[in-house]
Amino acid sequence: MFTRTYFLIGLTVLIAVLAWQYPHAIDSTPEKARLMYLSIWAILISGSALLTRRLPKEKFFQYGLVWTAIFLALMVGYKVFNS
């Protein structure tokens, strides 16, 4: 429980520092929409990573590598198909 709380506090502090450092970085609506989209993905991925801590580390990294390979294969396939 505390790990999730510390993670959310750290994420909030990071966003606040970045917003203070670069105030005009997300002035347009498409940039705000992209930020929300990527934030939702980051929350989903990190949440699933925190929930799967019950798995042994070997399985955790094995599953992570499998998902990374799937993601990269989709990216490469999409790039080859569109060019």
- Number of structural domains the chain divides into: 1
Report the alpha-carbon angle 23-25-29, nearest 5: 110
- pLDDT tens-place string over residues 34-43: 877 887 787 7
Judge whether 5 and 12 are in contact, CB under 8 Å: no
- pLDDT tens-place string over residues 41-82: 877 777 666 666 677 778 878 888 898 898 889 888 888 877
Which of 26, 29, 5, 4 is closest to 15 using CA atoms?
26
Q: By residue range, what is the domain housing residue 49?
A: 2-82
What is residue 52's predicted lDDT score, i.e. its pLDDT? 60
